Structure 1
Amino acid sequence: MRAMTIADVEAVLALEQSVQPYPWTRGNFCDALASGYLCYVDEQAGLLRGYAVWMPGVDEAELLNIAVAGAEQRKGVGRRLLAAMRELGAARDWARVFLEVRAGNTPAIA
């Protein structure tokens, strides 16, 4: 797990487009990085397995986007991304974290 950089955007965008029905654009990811949002990637042996983008506030944060590559789903990648953010939240004294999930996003709800 590491912080996302601008060099990761093309791979992140490809993953996003492969799994999201309403994908973010390159501009969305670049804006998130430029705005200081907490953007993290999970990779193994150079393979991007997942990413998460959080918008921090004073005492809370909102998970704006999270995705896991199709072949890596159900292997704990999303859980690790969320755990990393929980640790950051504890260090920043976040009182709460928000997550909105589309009703039709069955994999996320499961």
Structure 2
Amino acid sequence: MRHEDLAHVSDIERRSYDFPWSHGVFRDCLLAGYQCIVLERDGEVAGYGILSVAAGEAHILNLCVEPGYRSHGYGERLLDEILFRARTSSVREIFLEVRPSNENALALYKKKGFHKVANRPAYYQAQDGREDAAVLAKKLTVDS
């Protein structure tokens, strides 16, 4: 991800979530040195992911696909790239939070070997108050 991508990334985020990250949050992720990944299709941003790596662990902070490109394997390609980058950073375990209502994301993470390790009560803003987050984890090896 480059600074030039931020407007398109922010636009995808706004169209994807009721409570999106701001343009400034994405900018701060770039400035902080997080691994900010963009997946392109025909020169356009099709999706993005943000990975934080520290102390032998990685955390997927955001993963999103352009609404028109969903259910075409782009989310899996992004997740594969994130997992590759985590492995090459000598990370042993990777974590993420996901809304339990996000069934498509949960199915993808399960397919890729993630499992639930905790629950964060009232973690996300929701239209009717708050929604819990499922905390998922995956042990990483050279071939997983």
The one of 41, 45, 54 equivalent to 1:57 is 54
TM-score normalised to structure 1 length: 0.92
Give the total of aligned pairs.
107
Say yes or no: does 1:31 pair with 2:28. Answer: yes
Q: Which runs of 4+ in 1 moved over 6 A?
A: none
Alignment of 1:4-83 (within 5 A): 4-83=1-80
Q: 1:14-61 CA deviation, whole Å, 9 max, x = no partner?
A: 000111222000110000000000000001112211000011112111
What is the RMSD of the two structures over their aligned residues, measured on CA atoms? 1.0
Question: Which of the two has greater helix per residue?
Answer: 1
**Higher radius of gyration, 1 or 2:** 2
Alignment partners' CA distance in 2, 1:7 and 1:90: 27
Letter in 1 for 2:76: R
Q: 1:46-105 CA deviation, whole Å, 9 max, x = no partner?
A: 221100001111211100011001111111111111111111122111010001101222
Q: Which has the higher contact order (CA 8 A, sep 6+)?
A: 1
Question: Which of the two has greater strand per residue?
Answer: 2
Alignment partners' CA distance in 2, 1:46 and 1:85: 20
Say yes or no: does 1:104 pair with 2:101. Answer: yes
Residue 32 of structure 1 aligns to a residue whose secondary structure is helix
Alignment partners' CA distance in 2, 1:52 and 1:84: 9
Q: Which ranges in structure 1 are unaligned for 5 or more consecutive residues?
A: none
